[in-house]
Amino acid sequence: MTMRELIGADVLLRAALLAVLALQAASGQNATLFKQDNLLRYYSKDSLSNFTEFTSNYGYYSEEHVVVTEDGYILFLFRIPKGKNCNGTIAEPPILMMHGLLMSADAWLDAGPSAGLAFLLADACYDTWVGNVRGNYYGRRHRSLDPDTDSEFWDFNTEQMGVYDLPANIDYVLNHTGSKDLMFIGFSHGCRQVFTMASETSGYVDKVRVAINLAPAVRVKYTRSISIRLLTEFYAAVSPILKTPRQLEVLEKGGLIQTASAFICKDNALASTVCQLFLALIDSYDPGSVLPETIRSLFGHFPAGTSAYTLAIYGQGVISKNFQKYDYGFSKNLQLYGSPIPPLYNLKKSTMPVVLIYGKNDFLVDPRDVKWLSKQLPNMLETYEVGRTTWNHLDNNYSQFSKRLIFPKINEYLRKYSTRV
């Protein structure tokens, strides 16, 4: 493909994405392109598997748990108690992993046992717990609200995830294991939750022995991804006029974008060409990093869904260039915050030991934003740049090189802050 053709494809795909998003927002369509029941034989087994099925595909034992948040959301939480050949030497305390935006717990598995971080941690004999947040397909239930008929179900952004979802996951893990604290690993959006939690709740920083953050999406001032900027700014603009559940639930599993992506990327030849281009439009290009079989798997689970307001708060962050609360507009801001502008989150309250890991070629979380974050935190252990110049945002979940390039640094701090029993 020539450079002119590549640029043309880039423009067309971006235009198509925005057209579909605008159509979904305006009409509330939750369309499915294909009846997958008739096409199962064409998809990879991993792409069709849920978390426990995925681990079982490779001979790992995993557990499914149910967490209920203080405000009634029902979330699935998964556990791999240990990997292969651990011989009873399990590390304490447990680890809790939290996924990125529009992802789910499955994202930590999609690269397979040789590179998926949940597999690697389990094989290193850590008690590995993998959480979810409201709005993805593992968090689409509530004690009293119906996500298909009640707009109130979708009335959340990243703050509620940090104030309710992450604390509920932490409390469940600690209560189940009897541990007084845990080790945290977050990716992107998952990192935003831990710093929101530290700012807006009491006592939870003491329950995090160490927080390891991969590409932390906290301040997003320098985001270079044009498609993500357009997507999030679009929802920042239109979210005030969205009313129905079908308008407020966006990029869901089984919807138009996910179904079409999974269908196109089920083929190895397309996964290594067209679908690589899809990923490059979201992030930046890292040649040879994500294997075709991983791409086939990940588009079976991504995008996983969220609310319009969750995308909107990132769009507001791109515009305001701050790590701040949701901007509801002048009147509601005065009512909720006592100020016409949203207050900033207090990063000085993030007193747990923190490690930041980032890539130089990350177009979603720019290195300048990571370095800014490191200067705001009171208990920084290390800000680590991955030693591959093309390492991008999505590589943290999907690269075949994770075991060599990021797992050793993660394991270094996990071993430092854990004990073996």
Positions marked catalytic: 188, 393
Q: Round to whole Å and give the CA distance between 363 and 226.
A: 9
Cβ distance 357 to 212 under 8 Å?
yes
Cβ distance 123 to 83 under 8 Å?
yes
Q: Round to whole Å and give the CA distance between 276 and 173.
A: 36
Report which of 155, 209, 210, 218 is spatially closest to residue 187, judged by C-alpha positions.
218
Q: Round to whole Å and give the CA distance between 136 and 105.
A: 10
Instruction: Supply 209's token pair.
Output: 């022995």
Instruction: Supply 352's token pair.
Output: 């747990």
Angle 132-21-41 from CA coordinates, rounded to 5°: 65
Report which of 157, 191, 202 is spatially closest to residue 316, judged by C-alpha positions.
157
Alpha-carbon torsion 215, 216, 220, 222, what sign? negative
Q: Which residues pair with 213 in a beta bridge?
A: 186, 356
Q: For the chain, give the number of residues.
A: 421
Q: Round to whole Å and give the CA distance between 78 and 94.
A: 12
In 265-389, where does DSSP find H-type helix? 268-271, 274-282, 292-298, 308-320, 330-337, 367-376
* Phi, psi (rounded to 5 degrees) for 277: -65, -40
